[in-house]
Structure 1
Amino acid sequence: MKTDNHQSADADLACRVPEPYRDDIELIRLDNESVSVRINREISKEPEFISWFAGLRRAGLKPLPPEFVMKSELGQVGLANTHDVEAGISGAQREVRRMFRDVISMSASDIHVHLDRRQGSRIRTRINGLLYTIREPDFEEGGTLLSTMVESMCDTKSQGYNPRVAQDGRVKPEFLADMNLYAARYSHRPTDDGGVFAVMRLIEDDRGRTRTLQSLGYQPEHEAAVEEIELTSQGLIGLCGTTGSGKSTTQRVLASRWLARNNGQVSLQTQEAPIEGLILGAVQCAVNTDNLSLHQAGEAWAGSVVMSMRLDPDGIYTGEARDYASAYAALETSVSGHPGWFGLHCTYPLDALTRMRNWGIDARELANPTYFRGLIAQSLVNTLCPSCALPWSEALKRQLIPASHQTLAKRMFNTDELEQLRFRNPDGCGKCTKQLLGTAINQGISGRTIVAEIVRPDRHIMKSWLEEGSFVARRLWLQAGGFSRGQHLRRLLLAGQTDLVMATEHMDPDEDRDFRECA
């Protein structure tokens, strides 16, 4: 006869989702016996799945009737022992975790909490780049939620929750153990009239998920450019874009390609402030610059470079370059002869050089083509639900295309091409519209994809940048046959994958026109 301990161990083992199905099963332990299971309907008849599900009962568990759903509806994967995680935590902490679970199930990237006595408080979450209101707490209730996070759920140097000063921290891993998150970062700052604005950045755990350039939305021209860049064994690859453009994800994909190409028999070391996500096979190290002066932060980055060189690296991955110290740390990895990767906020690839120069790095160093293998700029645009997207004529009839966008479209496309365009249906349909805490989301949207351009800066481009600036250098690159992000977006528009009106919120679809007219 099995003891309670043995039965518990059997149950824990049974709840471990088999590796091939980590992306297909969402399992939650409700208590010691009951489990809730949501399953990708495509695997419901597979013998391996049927055997695993039967094993839950053999282990003494009582699974609720399984819910078979589309794979895209699954929000949590792998082992999710909610009962174990929530044992011993407070009601307020449990409420925070419930909010996290709800939004993560819809692949949210951020949670915004704005406490405002005059306008009213609200909690919003960002899904596919758009913000949706999910709650409207009163001011005191919202304050309790934030103080719970800062004082008991975050690693922070602050002494308690203080809405009158800026604070930040990282949610403790034990509160995220069953949520398919690598990490969650917390930041807030005071607003007018005693209010506070807080953002929680949710960083997905990529384990068990294979990302490629193609799956992110990169085109064959981009992949060919990357393969050419990767023929060079040293120098930096820079990822450029605005906040929330997916730079860190693409950085990690490129670094992972390098590891795979070398069969994992190389040492990739990172220096990040903070660490943005997991890179399987890398040694990831944080550079702690929190609450440091500019001088102290500079010393921290310089020390990181020195330490990395002592630890026998084959490649060095610098996270985001935000200032002189972090940018120069990235450059030093290239000068030392190593391949490297870094990210930076700017619009066009060559603007990365301009920002680094503006921070104080010698322009003559930056113009050395051997220091930069490639510069990549990307944006994210929404993709349309193919089941309910509207053609040009129908969108016009429903007055969904503003006059300015009609003028733009007629300038960019001929009559036949206009009929190939598709626009978002604001009502959505059964295939795209989801419900989150009583709020309809994703109407007319299927997800997001990348719009990008890749520059391999040769000596001619670098000379042009140094002498005439990034605008003229980009024009030179376009004249030499560069595949621009404008061309990429045009391809997506003509394929009916994205909406011209929505795309203009992220970039000018006809931006190459300025460069052509100045030629």
Structure 2
Amino acid sequence: MIVEQLKTADDQDFLRFRKNISDIVTVKGGLIETTDEQKKICIIYKNGDFLISTEHLENPSIRFLKEVAIRKGIQNITCYKVSLRDIRLLYQEQEKKVIQSSSLPMEKIASDLIHECCDLRVSDLHIKVYTDEAEIFIRKDGDMFLLRQIEAEKGHSLLAALYNTAEDADSTYKLNSYQAARIIASKSRISIPERLQSIRLQFNPLGQGGRYMIARFLYVEKTSITSIEALNPVKYGFHPVQAEAFKRLRQLPIGVNIISGPTGSGKSTTLKNILELLYIEKKAKVNIISIEDPPEYEITGTAQLPITNVDTEDERATEYRKAITAALRSDPDIIMPGEARDAEVINLVFTAAMTGHQVWTSLHANSAVSIFDRLKDQGVDSFKLIDPELVTGLVAQRLVKKLCPQCSLTYQEFTQSNVLSEIEENIIQGYHDSIRFPNNDGCSHCQSGYSGRTIIAEIIEPDQVFLSLIDQGKRNEAVNYWQSSLSGITMRDHAWMKIISGEIYVLDAVHKIAKLESLSNERREYLRKLCFLEDDYDA
């Protein structure tokens, strides 16, 4: 080996590398000028830290650059073995810091706003520019809040700065046009927090020369790909019975599995976690391909095919279908088209399953059963919809705010100053001791009475009887059969269990799930026992 006394960098080392990012000397204009190829495989700091790609320990450039460093007066050289990715990210961080120091004033304001939003863990940022003023709103845990107001001129400049720092955008910012763009943290010329992966931007014109921008924040998931437990669906709010259903679906060799829900219901996160679990469970011996427009999260173990170089929706749809066709020709085991957006895509989804692949995708539907309506509307043949080996999993989900466990109020505390509606009282009847309510004043842990969001879901694993009832138009009979014979849990069931266990506020659930009060006493008793199962699972 060329490099002596080689160490493997640990977490503490990387903290130091990032802290001393300005001390890298192997950069343009630095103490040690390197070629682009040399920069890909190593980094040298002025304190002697020498980071080397594991794959290039024997590269002649390593010995040469070490000798150059010694001649330049760098002492106490310590060599560390790291990955090519580590080297690339450290150089990118150094470049961003240099760019930040020379950023334009409005770009600095845009960067500060992004950092502020990340500190608040917002999901969306809304900026509305009117004639005289602009309003900045944030969405946190599903609710909108006014952050501040600024002058209209400053608002227009802020939107232009955000657009001009973005990727995947038109060459020119157009005030009166509908435009989309994306800020990618690893490529951005302004400072972006490490925990943020990208920001999806949508710009819309308003009347009287106004402008409206919506920014969706996509955060880096911090789960470890080596841990099945970290990706367990229960940790995201699914019931243990539902987690077991997901496990059975992942074990099937073929079939179409569809995640449904409105925009912002967590479908992308669910799909990401499923694919990463598959990669672990299959011991990295499968080829997983996704088709996304655009890729929202980095999915470990998955080849993510983006949709690029499109200007119109027709071009986008055409490229999406081309990407799915290309994926089918790329020796896949598992395919995930991010969205089954039209009849041609849905047809390709079923073709993939019929040719021996496990397929996961998403679409917009109000419930798991109503997925069939969408599929029929898009022309899927009936013989496909009644095949339980083809239609294997149907999921619907919503996100509901979680009560802060540190400051939530009891029934007695809440009703001292609040009156519940008849519907609310009906839903919680007999469970006053276990339910909880939000503390509007919050506490040091939450500031709002809430702490994140949780999933409300239903998962159908259809069998032949269920599919035949659906095919005959007997929807109510199919749902009853699913609940009684297939142990089905509806979103209404799941929401009620979370209410009586004190996890979510009854009124928040009512705003997301219809007719919660319609659950029979017999059904409630059955669900109460499932709550005990969940407690045992958590323990």
Contact kept, 8 Å, 2:126 with 2:138, in 1: the verdict is yes
Contact kept, 8 Å, 1:376 with 1:453, in 2: the verdict is yes
* 2:469 alignment partner, one of 461, 464, 478: 464
> Take 1:472 and 1:290, find their aligned partners in 2: how far apart are those partners?
45
* Percentage identity across paired residues of the two chains: 22
Could you say if the C-alpha distance between residues 410 and 208 of structure 1 is closer, same or farther in structure 2, counting changes exceeding 3 Å? closer
Task: Give the aligned partner of residue 235 of structure 1.
Answer: 255
| 1:39-438 map, 5 Å | 83-117=97-131, 120-150=133-163, 152-172=164-184, 173-175=186-188, 178-206=193-221, 209=224, 210-288=230-308, 290-292=310-312, 294=314, 296-399=315-418, 401-403=419-421, 407-415=422-430, 417-433=431-447
Residue 105 (structure 1) shift: 2.0
Residue 168 (structure 1) shift: 0.2
Offset from partner CA, 1:42-91 (integer Å, 9 cap, x none): xxxxxxxxxxxxx99998xxxxxxxxxxxxxxxxxx97666335143322
Amino acid at match of 2:249: I
Matched residue SS, 2:145: strand
Contact kept, 8 Å, 2:111 with 2:192, in 1: the verdict is no
Could you say if the C-alpha distance between residues 299 and 19 of structure 1 is closer, same or farther in structure 2, counting changes exceeding 3 Å? same
Task: Give the aligned partner of residue 86 of structure 2.
Answer: none
Could you say if the C-alpha distance between residues 392 and 167 of structure 1 is closer, same or farther in structure 2, counting changes exceeding 3 Å? same
* 1:500 alignment partner, one of 499, 503, 506: 506
Contact kept, 8 Å, 1:486 with 1:512, in 2: the verdict is no
Q: Which has the higher contact order (CA 8 A, sep 6+)?
A: 1
> Take 2:515 and 2:399, find their aligned partners in 1: how far apart are those partners?
13
Could you say if the C-alpha distance between residues 511 and 410 of structure 1 is closer, same or farther in structure 2, counting changes exceeding 3 Å? closer
Could you say if the C-alpha distance between residues 215 and 166 of structure 1 is closer, same or farther in structure 2, counting changes exceeding 3 Å? same
Residue 511 (structure 1) shift: 6.6
Residue 310 (structure 1) shift: 2.1
Contact kept, 8 Å, 1:455 with 1:477, in 2: the verdict is yes
Offset from partner CA, 1:338-397 (integer Å, 9 cap, x none): 001101122211222211222333344333322222111111111111222111222222
Amino acid at match of 2:194: M
Contact kept, 8 Å, 1:85 with 1:178, in 2: the verdict is no
Residue 289 (structure 1) shift: 8.2
Task: Give the aligned partner of residue 9 of structure 1.
Answer: none
Residue 218 (structure 1) shift: 1.4
Could you say if the C-alpha distance between residues 459 and 230 of structure 1 is closer, same or farther in structure 2, counting changes exceeding 3 Å? same
Task: Give the aligned partner of residue 448 of structure 1.
Answer: 453
Contact kept, 8 Å, 1:85 with 1:174, in 2: the verdict is no
Residue 282 (structure 1) shift: 0.9
Amino acid at match of 1:355: R
Task: Give the aligned partner of residue 493 of structure 2.
Answer: 487
Residue 253 (structure 1) shift: 0.8
Q: Which has the larger radius of gyration?
A: 2
Residue 235 (structure 1) shift: 0.7
Offset from partner CA, 1:284-321 (integer Å, 9 cap, x none): 10134843354x55543332233112211111111022
The answer to which of 276-285 and 106-115 deviates more is: 106-115
Could you say if the C-alpha distance between residues 122 and 350 of structure 1 is closer, same or farther in structure 2, counting changes exceeding 3 Å? same
Amino acid at match of 2:181: G
Contact kept, 8 Å, 1:489 with 1:509, in 2: the verdict is no
Residue 222 (structure 1) shift: 0.8
Amino acid at match of 2:98: D
Could you say if the C-alpha distance between residues 58 and 427 of structure 1 is closer, same or farther in structure 2, counting changes exceeding 3 Å? farther
Contact kept, 8 Å, 1:423 with 1:499, in 2: the verdict is yes
Contact kept, 8 Å, 2:233 with 2:243, in 1: the verdict is yes
Matched residue SS, 1:140: helix
Structure 2: runs of 5 or more not aligned: 1-7, 24-44, 50-88, 225-229, 524-539
Amino acid at match of 1:461: F
Task: Give the aligned partner of residue 6 of structure 1.
Answer: none
> Take 2:250 and 2:469, find their aligned partners in 1: how far apart are those partners?
24
Amino acid at match of 2:257: I
Contact kept, 8 Å, 1:298 with 1:325, in 2: the verdict is no
> Take 2:276 and 2:235, find their aligned partners in 1: how far apart are those partners?
14
Could you say if the C-alpha distance between residues 165 and 239 of structure 1 is closer, same or farther in structure 2, counting changes exceeding 3 Å? same
> Take 2:97 and 2:317, find their aligned partners in 1: how far apart are those partners?
45
Matched residue SS, 1:230: helix
Could you say if the C-alpha distance between residues 293 and 508 of structure 1 is closer, same or farther in structure 2, counting changes exceeding 3 Å? closer
Could you say if the C-alpha distance between residues 208 and 451 of structure 1 is closer, same or farther in structure 2, counting changes exceeding 3 Å? closer
> Take 1:93 and 1:26, find their aligned partners in 2: how far apart are those partners?
28
Residue 424 (structure 1) shift: 0.4
> Take 1:365 and 1:335, find their aligned partners in 2: how far apart are those partners?
9
Matched residue SS, 2:398: strand
Contact kept, 8 Å, 1:233 with 1:338, in 2: the verdict is yes
Contact kept, 8 Å, 1:301 with 1:329, in 2: the verdict is no
- TM norm structure 2: 0.75
Could you say if the C-alpha distance between residues 214 and 147 of structure 1 is closer, same or farther in structure 2, counting changes exceeding 3 Å? same
Amino acid at match of 2:302: A
- Confirm or deny that 1:510 pairs with 2:516: yes
Structure 1: runs of 5 or more not aligned: 1-15, 34-54, 60-77, 434-442
Matched residue SS, 1:468: coil
Residue 134 (structure 1) shift: 1.9
> Take 1:138 and 1:122, find their aligned partners in 2: how far apart are those partners?
9
> Take 2:147 and 2:238, find their aligned partners in 1: how far apart are those partners?
33
